[in-house]
C-alpha cells in the first residue's frame, strides 16, 4: 500500500517554531540587527490557510505582522474581499485599530460554492502602508440539508464482510438433530484462535489446537444436558448457586459471573461446565427432533445459549481473564464446526451467523448461500454438505469427528465510476464528499487530499460532516475514473466499550459525493454517486478493518484490483450495482468541520530491535522509542515471506517487567496487551510475491512496541517505520537544564498528539478512545499552549451540545453513540468537574485567542446546564449549591476527596465564568443573573465546607445510610491537596478564609513530602496555586520530585507519554493489579505543561484580557534549574521567553514580543538589581511591586527582541 504524506498543519507557525526551537541550548541566540522592513503574513480565514468549504456567512480574518524593528505595530488596516473576477464584495475601509485577529466579514452576502480572494493593507506606527499577498477562501454549500447534493445518493453494498478472528461479538444459530441411536452432538466455535497458536501471543504460553465446544447430551433422556468444553486455554470455573446457575456479582460494567477458580489443563473429553437443559426445551417434542441452538455474546467474554427459544445458559464467562469488556476476549468467533462421537451421527441445518445486536436490518453474515457459505465444510472428513437441502451430515466414524472451518469472507466496500470530459479542458473541479464510516477517495489513481479517517468523528445523529476538495489537477482530458474505499470508522461496529452501542448509527458503509466541473468554455458537468453509474465490490484487498481490532489486508487480492480507480481498469464479475443506504438517523445537518483533517504528522524509526519475543515463537519485537498513535509502514523483501503467508502485527505500549509474578509465567519482555482489553489491536497482511509494503489505512493504534510474526526471519529494523497520525501539530517549544523535565514536556506533547485525533480522546489504544469531558477540560489550557486548538475544541463542543439532555444535564463523553434520555440517566456517573468542559473550554479558548465565536456557540447550552444544576438544591440551608454534583471529581487520586466538596467548588467557578462570558457577548440579562448567583453560591460554599477559624475543609453528614437522622453530625475532614488547590485556583474561598487556606494547603503538600496525592481534577491546580501565592520553593520541590507519586516518577521509569494513573507502573508493584484499566497514554495528568509555559517561562495573558495583543511575561526562577526557555505561537506571532540562573537567582532574561503587541514584564529581582540592570531599547522600567507573592521589577516592552543581563 502507498505510503502517506507527512502534513505540516499551520505551516507558517510550525516553521517559525522549529527554527526557534533548534537554537535552544541554554538561552536564546544573540539578537539580530534591527530591520525596519515589515511583512504582513500568516493570513487565515476562520483560523485556516486558504480554506475550502468555509461554512459560514461571516468568516473571520486574521493576519500577523513580521518586523525586525523594535516597537513595530499596526495603527490601521483595510481588508478587501473580492470574487475571482475581481469584483469587490467587501471593503472594510481604513479602520483605525491595532487589532489583527478575528476581524469578522461584513460585506455582501457570500454565495455558496464560491471562491473569494482577500488581502489586507496595514498602516504601521510610522504611517507607512504594507500590503499582504492575496489569500483565498471558498464557501461550502452553505446549506445543511440534502438540497445542495442534488441527485447524489448514499451508495454502498448490501453485503457485509466477516472477519471471524476479530469478531468478539457474534450471534450464531443452528438446528441440531440427534437421530435415534445417537446421544450427543456438538457445535464448535472459537477454534484456531491465532493467539493460542503462538506462545508469544497469550499469557498462558499456549500454542495448541484450541476451541470452544457446546455439546447437546441426551444420553440420559430424563436429564438432558448442555456440556461446555474449553480446549487449548485455561477455563474459568464459575461459582454456582443452589440451582446450578452462575452467581452474579457487581462489576464495572454491571453484573458478571463470579469466578472461583481457573482450570489450567483442559481435557478435551471432560466438560468444563455442565448445564441442565430445562424441560420446556423439549415440551411437545421428541429428544430426536431438531433442536434450535443459538449461541451469542450478550457482551464481550460472555456467551449465552438458548435452545428452542428457551434460555439455557445466560452470559457464561469461560475466559479466566474476565467476563466483560475490560479483558482480552475469549472466545472470538474464529472457526466454527461440529463434533460427533464415534459411531454416532448428527444433522445440522439452518446454520447462520447474524449481525450482532438488535440487527434491525436483518444482516446475515454467513449461511448456506451467504458469505463463505457451507462450502467451507465440503472437504472436511466425516462431513457431507447438501446446500440445496440445507443439510450438513456429520458422521463420527471409528474415532469420532471434530472439524471446523473459517467462515470469514468478503471485504470492506469499494465503489467506482468512470466518466469522460469529452475532450474539454477543465478549468476547475470541486469534490464534495461524505461517508457513513470513513473513506479514501482516488481520482485516476491519485488520492484526493492528505486527510485520514474522513469525514471525521461526530455525533452523527445530529451532524454529518463533509469535505470539499479542489480536484482540478487530478482530472485529465477524456476518460476519468473515481474510486472510493470505505471503512467502518466511527459509524459501525464497536463504537465504545459497551456492546449495546454496536452498529449504533448503522451496519453498512456508504459514500455520498458530488463533483462540480467547470470547463474553460464555460460549460459544466456534475458527477454524483448513484446506483446507476457506479459499481461496488466487496471482494477487495481490505478484507476487514476496525479502529479497535485492526486491519486485514490481502496483497494477493490487491494485485487483482491494481488500477481499480483508473479509467483503464476492466471490471471483473466482483463488481455489481450498488445499493442505496439511507442513514437510520437522517435528521442531521450537513456541516464542514471547523478543524483540520487528521493526517500523518511525523515518522519514527525503530529505536531498538529487541529480538524474538519467546524462543521459537517466530515473533519479533521492535521498540519505536516513543509511545504514540499511528500505524506501521513495513517493507518486506521477497525472501522474507512465502506468498499466501499471513504476517501478524501486534502492538503494545509496554512490555511485561522483570518481576516475580511475570517470571514464573515466562512473560518478562513480552507484549503486555491486557490493557487493550476487548480491542484486538492486530493487523494481518496476506503476502504476495516479490518485495512488498504494508501500511494499514483504516485503523490506528496506540503503541510503542511492534511485534511482527509470520516471516521466515527477523526483519531488519530499518524496514519498519511508524507513521504518527494526529489532527494537530505541536508548535510550542521548551528546553531547560533538567533533562527529566524536558522529557516530561515531550511526553505531554506525545500524549496530546496521540489523543487529538478528530476529537479529544482519553486514550488512543484500548476499546475506549472516547471524548471524555473531564479529560478534555482539565487539559484544555495546556493544550492551547502546545498548539492552536481553537477550531479543534470548537468542533468537538458541537457534538457535546448535540447530546445534552432536555433537562440540561450532560453525558460523560461525546459523541455518545447512544440515545440520550430526556433527563439525567443512562451513563449517569458523571460529575460537575467532567461536565465543566462545556463551560471551561469555551472560556479558555476565548481567553487564549480573543475570538468570541466559541462563546456564542455554547452560551445557551451553558445556561441550560447551569439551570439544571441550580434546580437541584443541595439542602434547605444551601440552596445555591447543587445536589447534582455526581461522583466524578478528583479521579484516580492517591488521597480521596469528597466529590461534593470539589464539584460544588467547580460549580461556583462555572457560574463566574458564565457571568464573564455573558459580558463578552453583550448578554446583560445573563451577566446580571450569574453575577448575583455567583456571590450567593460562593458564600454558601464557604459556609458549608470551610471550618471557622482553622479553615480546614470538611463535610458534615446528618443521616445514616438508611436516611435516618443522626444524633450528632459526622464530620469528615479533607486535608488533601485537591481539596485546597481546587477552590484556591478557582477563587472560591472568601477573602477572610483565603490566606489561612493557602497555609493549610502548603502544610498538606509538605506533609506528603512534596509528592502528589491528587488526581485528574486537582492536579492541574497544584503548582499554579503555590506559585501564585509566592511559595515558589515549594512549587519547584513538588515539580521536580522524582519519587512516587510525581510528574517525573514515570519519566525515571522510561515513560515517553503521560500515564493514566500515577501508579500505572511502579518499581515495587509493577502494574499494581491494574493490568486492564491502565492506559500509558492519557494527557490529563500532563496539564502541568500549562504551568511550565505560563509560570516557569512566564508567558501568560493580562488579567481579564483575552488574546495576546497585550500580555504578561512573569518568568519564575527556582529549584535546581540553571536555565529554561521556550516559545508559544500566539495569534500575533511567536512569543519567546527564557532565563538563566545561578543559585536560584536570575542572571539573564531574553524575550521576543511579536510585532503589533506589547508586554508587561515582571522580573523577579530586587530593587538594587533593577537599578543595576540596563533596560534594552524598547523596554521601560515602571516600578517595583509584589507579583505572585514575589518582589519584581516591572517593565513595559514594545514589540521586539530583548536581552536583559541582571545587575549585581
What are the pLDDT digits (tens) for 991-1043? 999 999 999 999 999 999 999 999 999 999 999 999 999 999 999 999 999 99
Q: What contacts 102, CB < 8 A, 6 or more positions away?
A: 60, 61, 62, 849, 850, 851, 852, 853, 1131
Dump pLDDT digits (tens) for 1142-1154: 999 999 999 999 9
pLDDT (0 to 100) of residue 68: 93
Asked if residue 722 belongs to a domain, the reply is yes
Comparison of pLDDT for 568 and 315, the residue scoring more: 568
Rounded CA-CA distance 264/854 in Å is: 57
Cell of 120: 489586507
Asked if residue 14 belongs to a domain, the reply is no
Among 852, 1188, 805, CA closest to 1029: 1188
Domain with residue 120: its CATH number is 2.60.40.10
Asked if residue 478 belongs to a domain, the reply is yes
Q: What contacts 16, CB < 8 A, 6 or more positions away?
A: 1129, 1133, 1134
Residue 775, φ and ψ in degrees, nearest 5? -60, -45
Asked if residue 912 belongs to a domain, the reply is yes
Asked if residue 814 belongs to a domain, the reply is yes
Q: Which range among 48-62, 313-327, 506-520 shows the weakest confidence by mean pLDDT?
A: 313-327
Residue 895, φ and ψ in degrees, nearest 5? -105, 135
Q: Decide if pLDDT at 257 tops 70.
A: no
Examine residue 455 and say whether the peptide bond preceding it is cis (omega within 30 degrees of 0): yes
pLDDT (0 to 100) of residue 278: 95
Residue 872 lies in domain: 733-1094
The answer to whether the beta carbons of residues 89 and 79 sit under 8 Å apart is no
Q: What is the mean pLDDT of residues 450-476?
A: 98
Dump pLDDT digits (tens) for 974-985: 999 999 999 999
Dump pLDDT digits (tens) for 379-407: 999 999 998 899 999 999 999 999 999 99
Q: Decide if pLDDT at 17 tops 70.
A: no
Which residue(s) pair with 115 in the sheet? Answer: 138
Assess whether 792 and 643 both reside in one domain: no
Q: What contacts 126, CB < 8 A, 6 or more positions away?
A: none
Cell of 900: 461534593
Rounded CA-CA distance 633/1042 in Å is: 36
The answer to whether the beta carbons of residues 680 and 548 sit under 8 Å apart is yes
Cell of 798: 458541537
Q: Which range among 500-504, 957-961, 1040-1044 shows the weakest confidence by mean pLDDT?
A: 957-961
pLDDT (0 to 100) of residue 265: 57
Domain with residue 859: its CATH number is 1.50.10.10
Q: For the chain, first and last CA: distance in Å? A: 64
Report the b/e string of 811-847 with b at 16+ CB within 10 A: bbbbbbbbebeeebebeeebbbbbbbbbbbbbbbbbb
E strands, 802-887, where? none
Residue 761, φ and ψ in degrees, nearest 5? -100, 165
Query: pLDDT tier at 324 (50, 70, 90 boundaries)?
Result: confident
The answer to whether the beta carbons of residues 1110 and 1093 sit under 8 Å apart is no
Of 86, 118, 139, the one marking the end of a domain is: 139
Dump pLDDT digits (tens) for 207-224: 999 999 999 999 999 999
Report the b/e string of 87-108 with b at 16+ CB within 10 A: eebbebeeeeebebbbbebebe
Query: pLDDT tier at 964 (50, 70, 90 boundaries)?
Result: confident
| Number of Cβ atoms within 10 Å of the Cβ of 948 | 10
Rounded CA-CA distance 95/76 in Å is: 5
Q: What contacts 8, CB < 8 A, 6 or more positions away?
A: 14, 15, 601, 729
Assess whether 246 and 385 both reside in one domain: yes
| Number of Cβ atoms within 10 Å of the Cβ of 1101 | 18
E strands, 1006-1122, where? 1099-1101, 1110-1113
The answer to whether the beta carbons of residues 728 and 756 sit under 8 Å apart is yes
Asked if residue 347 belongs to a domain, the reply is yes
Assess whether 711 and 738 both reside in one domain: no
Q: Which run of H or of E encompasses 939? A: helix 924-945
Query: pLDDT tier at 6 (50, 70, 90 boundaries)?
Result: confident
C-alpha separations of 27 from 54, 1006, 1128, 1204 in Å: 41, 32, 15, 11
Rounded CA-CA distance 214/191 in Å is: 12
Dump pLDDT digits (tens) for 868-913: 999 999 999 999 999 999 999 999 999 999 999 999 999 999 999 9
Rounded CA-CA distance 136/50 in Å is: 5
Of 726, 746, 761, the one marking the end of a domain is: 726
Q: Locate cell 504611517: which residue?
A: 127
Residue 662, φ and ψ in degrees, nearest 5? -105, -20
Cell of 733: 517549544
Assess whether 1090 and 1107 both reside in one domain: no
Assess whether 430 and 551 both reside in one domain: yes
Assess whether 603 and 569 both reside in one domain: no
Among 652, 644, 665, CA closest to 621: 652
CA atoms within 13 A on the CB side of 525: 19
Cell of 47: 483560523
Q: What is the mean pLDDT of residues 297-308?
A: 91
Rounded CA-CA distance 339/346 in Å is: 9
Rounded CA-CA distance 402/247 in Å is: 32
Asked if residue 901 belongs to a domain, the reply is yes
Domain with residue 1150: its CATH number is 2.60.420.10
Dump pLDDT digits (tens) for 168-209: 999 999 999 999 999 999 999 999 999 999 999 999 999 999
Assess whether 398 and 250 both reside in one domain: yes
The answer to whether the beta carbons of residues 602 and 6 sit under 8 Å apart is yes
Assess whether 438 and 569 both reside in one domain: yes
Task: Report strand pairing: 682-686 vs 550-554.
Answer: parallel
Assess whether 1158 and 1080 both reside in one domain: no
Comparison of pLDDT for 241 and 73, the residue scoring more: 73
Assess whether 385 and 418 both reside in one domain: no
For the chain, percent of residues with pLDDT exceeding 70: 94
Assess whether 88 and 181 both reside in one domain: no
pLDDT (0 to 100) of residue 251: 46
| Residues present in the chain in total | 1208
The answer to whether the beta carbons of residues 788 and 795 sit under 8 Å apart is no
The answer to whether the beta carbons of residues 2 and 719 sit under 8 Å apart is no
pLDDT (0 to 100) of residue 35: 64
On average, the pLDDT of the chain sits at 94
Q: Locate cell 506462545: which residue?
A: 199
Q: Decide if pLDDT at 923 tops 80.
A: yes
| Number of Cβ atoms within 10 Å of the Cβ of 438 | 29
C-alpha separations of 214 from 168, 258, 336, 499, 723 in Å: 17, 21, 11, 23, 44
Secondary structure of 891-912 in HEC code, one letter for each residue: CCCCCCCCHHHHHHHHHHHHHH
Q: Locate cell 469578522: which residue?
A: 104
Among 168, 319, 332, 333, CA closest to 237: 319
Strand, coil or helix: what is 791?
Answer: helix
Strand, coil or helix: what is 155?
Answer: strand
pLDDT (0 to 100) of residue 818: 80
Question: From the CA atom positions of the chain, what is the Rg in Å?
Answer: 32
Assess whether 83 and 195 both reside in one domain: no
The answer to whether the beta carbons of residues 224 and 287 sit under 8 Å apart is yes
Domain count, the chain: 6
Asked if residue 6 belongs to a domain, the reply is no
Strand, coil or helix: what is 617?
Answer: coil
pLDDT (0 to 100) of residue 21: 35
Dump pLDDT digits (tens) for 860-876: 999 999 999 999 999 99
Rounded CA-CA distance 232/953 in Å is: 56
Of 1094, 1126, 1150, the one marking the end of a domain is: 1094
Residue 3, φ and ψ in degrees, nearest 5? -80, 140
For the chain, percent of residues with pLDDT exceeding 90: 88
Task: Report strand pairing: 535-537 vs 414-420.
Answer: antiparallel
- pTM here? 0.95
Domain with residue 675: its CATH number is 2.60.120.260
Amino acid at each position: 500500500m502507498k505510503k502517506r504524506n507527512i502534513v505540516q498543519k499551520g505551516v507558517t507557525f510550525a516553521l517559525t517554531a522549529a527554527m526557534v526551537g533548534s537554537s535552544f541550548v541554554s538561552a536564546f541566540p544573540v539578537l539580530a540587527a534591527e530591520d525596519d522592513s515589515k511583512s504582513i503574513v500568516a493570513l487565515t480565514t476562520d483560523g485556516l490557510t486558504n480554506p475550502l468549504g468555509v461554512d459560514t456567512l461571516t468568516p473571520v480574518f486574521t493576519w500577523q505582522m513580521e518586523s525586525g524593528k523594535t516597537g513595530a505595530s499596526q495603527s490601521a488596516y483595510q481588508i478587501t474581499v473580492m470574487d475571482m473576477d475581481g469584483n469587490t464584495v467587501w471593503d472594510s475601509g481604513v479602520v483605525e485599530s491595532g487589532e489583527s485577529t478575528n476581524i469578522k466579514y461584513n460585506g455582501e452576502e457570500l454565495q455558496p460554492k464560491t471562491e473569494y480572494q482577500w488581502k489586507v493593507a496595514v498602516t504601521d506606527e510610522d504611517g507607512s502602508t504594507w500590503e499582504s499577498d492575496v489569500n483565498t477562501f471558498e464557501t461550502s454549500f452553505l446549506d445543511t440539508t440534502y438540497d445542495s447534493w442534488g441527485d447524489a445518493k448514499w451508495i454502498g453494498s448490501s453485503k457485509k464482510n466477516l472477519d471471524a478472528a476479530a469478531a468478539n461479538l457474534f450471534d450464531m444459530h443452528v438446528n441440531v438433530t440427534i437421530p435415534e441411536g445417537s446421544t450427543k452432538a456438538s457445535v464448535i466455535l472459537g477454534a484456531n484462535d491465532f493467539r493460542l497458536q503462538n506462545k508469544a501471543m497469550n499469557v498462558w504460553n499456549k500454542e495448541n489446537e484450541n476451541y470452544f465446544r457446546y455439546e447437546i447430551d441426551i444420553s440420559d433422556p430424563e436429564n438432558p444436558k448442555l456440556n461446555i468444553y474449553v480446549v487449548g486455554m485455561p477455563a474459568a470455573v464459575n461459582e454456582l448457586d443452589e440451582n446450578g446457575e452462575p452467581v452474579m456479582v457487581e462489576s464495572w460494567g454491571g453484573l458478571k459471573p463470579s469466578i472461583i477458580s481457573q482450570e489450567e489443563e483442559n481435557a478435551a473429553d471432560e466438560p468444563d461446565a455442565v448445564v441442565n437443559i430445562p424441560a420446556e426445551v423439549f415440551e411437545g417434542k421428541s429428544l430426536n427432533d431438531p433442536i434450535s441452538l443459538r449461541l451469542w455474546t450478550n457482551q464481550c467474554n460472555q456467551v449465552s445459549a438458548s435452545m428452542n427459544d428457551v434460555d439455557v445458559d445466560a452470559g457464561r464467562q469461560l475466559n479466566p481473564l474476565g467476563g466483560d469488556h475490560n479483558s482480552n476476549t475469549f472466545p472470538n468467533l474464529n472457526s466454527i464446526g461440529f463434533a460427533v462421537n464415534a459411531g454416532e451421527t448428527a444433522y445440522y441445518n439452518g446454520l447462520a451467523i447474524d449481525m450482532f445486536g438488535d440487527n434491525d436490518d436483518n444482516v446475515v453474515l454467513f449461511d448456506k448461500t451467504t458469505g463463505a457459505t457451507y462450502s467451507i465444510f465440503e472437504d472436511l472428513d466425516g462431513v457431507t454438505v447438501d446446500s440445496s437441502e440445507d443439510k450438513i451430515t456429520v458422521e463420527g466414524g471409528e474415532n469420532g469427528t471434530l472439524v471446523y472451518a473459517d467462515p470469514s469472507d468478503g471485504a470492506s466496500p469499494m465503489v467506482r465510476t468512470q466518466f469522460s470530459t469529452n475532450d474539454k479542458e477543465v478549468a476547475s473541479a470541486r469534490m464534495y464528499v461524505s461517508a457513513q464510516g470513513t473513506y479514501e477517495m482516488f481520482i485516476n489513481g491519485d488520492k484526493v487530499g492528505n486527510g485520514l479517517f474522513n469525514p471525521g468523528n461526530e455525533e452523527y445523529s445530529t451532524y454529518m460532516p463533509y469535505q470539499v476538495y479542489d480536484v482540478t489537477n487530478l482530472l485529465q482530458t477524456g476518460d476519468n475514473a473515481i474510486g472510493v474505499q470505505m471503512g467502518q470508522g466511527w459509524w459501525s461496529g464497536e463504537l465504545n466499550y459497551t456492546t449495546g452501542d454496536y452498529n449504533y448509527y448503522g451496519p453498512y458503509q456508504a459514500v455520498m459525493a458530488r463533483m462540480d466541473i467547470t470547463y474553460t468554455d464555460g460549460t459544466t458537468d456534475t458527477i454524483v454517486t448513484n446506483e446507476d453509474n457506479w459499481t461496488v465490490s466487496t471482494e477487495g484487498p481490505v478484507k476487514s478493518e476496525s479502529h479497535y481490532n485492526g486491519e486485514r489486508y490481502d496483497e494477493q487480492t490487491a494485485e487483482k484490483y491494481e488500477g481499480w480507480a483508473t479509467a483503464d481498469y476492466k471490471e471483473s464479475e466482483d463488481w455489481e450495482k450498488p445499493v442505496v443506504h439511507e442513514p437510520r438517523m437522517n435528521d442531521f445537518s450537513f456541516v464542514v468541520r471547523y478543524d483540520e483533517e487528521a493526517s500523518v504528522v511525523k515518522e519514527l524509526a525503530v529505536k531498538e530491535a529487541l529480538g524474538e519475543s519467546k524462543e521459537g515463537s517466530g515473533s519479533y519485537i521492535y521498540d519505536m522509542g516513543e509511545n504514540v498513535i499511528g500505524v506501521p509502514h513495513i517493507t518486506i523483501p521477497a525472501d522474507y515471506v512465502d506468498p499466501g503467508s499471513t504476517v501478524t502485527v501486534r502492538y503494545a505500549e509496554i512490555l511485561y517487567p522483570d518481576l516475580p509474578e511475570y517470571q514464573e509465567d515466562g512473560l518478562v519482555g513480552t507484549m503486555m496487551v491486557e490493557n487493550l482489553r476487548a480491542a484486538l489491536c492486530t493487523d494481518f497482511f496476506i503476502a504476495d510475491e516479490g518485495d512488498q509494503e504494508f501500511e494499514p489505512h483504516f485503523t490506528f493504534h496506540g503503541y510503542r512496541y511492534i511485534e511482527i510474526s509470520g516471516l521466515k526471519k527477523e526483519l531488519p529494523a530499518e524496514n519498519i517505520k511508524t507513521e504518527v497520525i494526529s489532527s494537530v501539530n505541536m508548535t510550542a517549544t521548551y528546553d531547560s537544564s533538567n533533562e527529566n523535565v524536558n522529557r516530561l514536556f515531550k511526553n505531554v506533547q506525545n500524549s496530546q498528539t496521540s489523543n487529538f485525533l478528530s476529537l479529544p480522546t482519553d486514550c488512543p489504544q484500548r476499546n475506549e478512545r472516547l471524548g471524555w469531558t473531564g479529560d478534555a477540560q482539565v487539559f484544555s489550557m495546556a493544550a492551547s499552549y502546545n498548539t492552536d486548538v481553537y477550531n479543534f475544541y470548537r468542533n468537538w463542543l458541537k457534538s457535546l451540545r448535540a447530546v445534552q439532555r432536555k433537562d440540561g444535564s450532560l453525558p460523560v463523553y461525546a459523541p455518545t453513540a447512544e440515545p440520550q434520555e430526556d433527563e439525567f440517566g443512562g451513563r449517569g456517573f458523571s460529575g460537575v468537574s467532567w461536565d465543566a468542559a462545556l463551560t471551561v473550554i469555551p472560556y479558555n479558548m476565548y481567553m487564549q485567542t480573543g475570538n468570541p465565536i466559541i462563546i456564542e456557540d455554547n452560551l445557551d447550552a451553558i445556561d441550560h446546564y447551569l439551570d439544571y444544576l441550580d434546580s437541584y438544591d443541595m439542602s434547605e440551608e444551601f440552596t445555591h449549591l447543587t445536589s447534582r454534583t455526581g461522583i466524578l471529581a478528583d479521579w484516580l487520586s492517591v488521597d480521596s476527596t469528597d466529590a461534593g466538596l470539589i464539584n460544588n467548588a467547580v460549580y461556583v467557578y462555572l457560574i463566574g465564568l458564565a457571568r464573564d462570558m455573558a459580558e463578552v457577548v453583550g448578554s446583560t440579562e445573563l451577566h446580571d443573573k450569574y453575577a448575583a448567583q455567583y456571590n450567593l453560591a460562593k458564600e454558601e460554599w464557604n459556609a458549608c465546607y470551610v471550618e471557622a477559624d482553622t479553615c480546614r475543609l470538611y463535610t458534615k453528614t446528618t443521616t445514616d445510610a438508611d436516611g435516618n437522622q443522626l444524633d450528632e453530625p459526622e464530620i469528615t475532614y479533607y486535608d488533601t491537596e485537591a481539596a485546597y488547590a481546587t477552590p484556591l485556583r478557582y477563587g472560591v474561598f472568601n477573602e477572610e478564609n483565603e490566606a489561612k487556606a493557602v497555609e493549610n494547603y502548603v502544610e498538606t503538600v509538605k506533609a506528603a513530602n512534596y509528592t502528589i496525592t491528587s488526581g485528574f481534577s486537582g492536579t492541574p491546580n497544584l503548582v499554579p496555586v503555590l506559585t501564585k501565592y509566592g511559595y515558589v520553593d515549594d512549587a519547584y520541590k513538588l515539580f521536580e520530585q522524582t519519587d512516587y507519586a510525581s510528574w517525573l516518577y514515570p519519566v525515571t521509569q522510561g515513560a515517553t507519554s503521560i500515564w493514566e494513573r500515577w501508579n500505572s507502573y511502579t518499581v515495587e508493584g509493577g502494574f499494581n493489579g491494574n493490568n486492564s484499566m491502565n492506559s500509558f497514554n492519557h494527557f490529563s495528568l500532563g496539564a502541568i505543561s500549562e504551568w511550565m509555559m505560563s509560570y516557569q517561562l512566564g508567558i501568560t495573558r493580562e488579567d481579564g484580557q483575552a488574546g495576546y495583543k497585550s500580555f504578561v511575561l512573569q518568568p519564575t526562577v527556582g529549584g535546581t534549574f540553571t536555565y529554561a526557555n521556550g516559545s508559544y505561537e500566539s495569534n500575533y506571532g511567536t512569543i519567546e521567553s527564557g532565563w538563566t540562573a545561578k543559585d536560584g537567582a536570575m542572571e539573564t532574561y531574553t524575550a521576543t514580543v511579536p510585532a503589533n503587541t506589547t508586554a508587561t514584564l515582571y522580573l523577579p529581582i530586587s530593587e538594587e538589581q533593577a537599578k543595576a540592570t540596563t533596560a534594552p531599547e524598547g523596554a521601560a522600567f515602571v516600578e517595583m511591586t509584589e507579583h505572585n507573592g514575589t518582589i519584581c521589577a516591572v517593565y513595559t516592552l514594545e514589540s521586539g527582541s530583548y536581552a536583559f543581563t541582571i545587575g549585581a
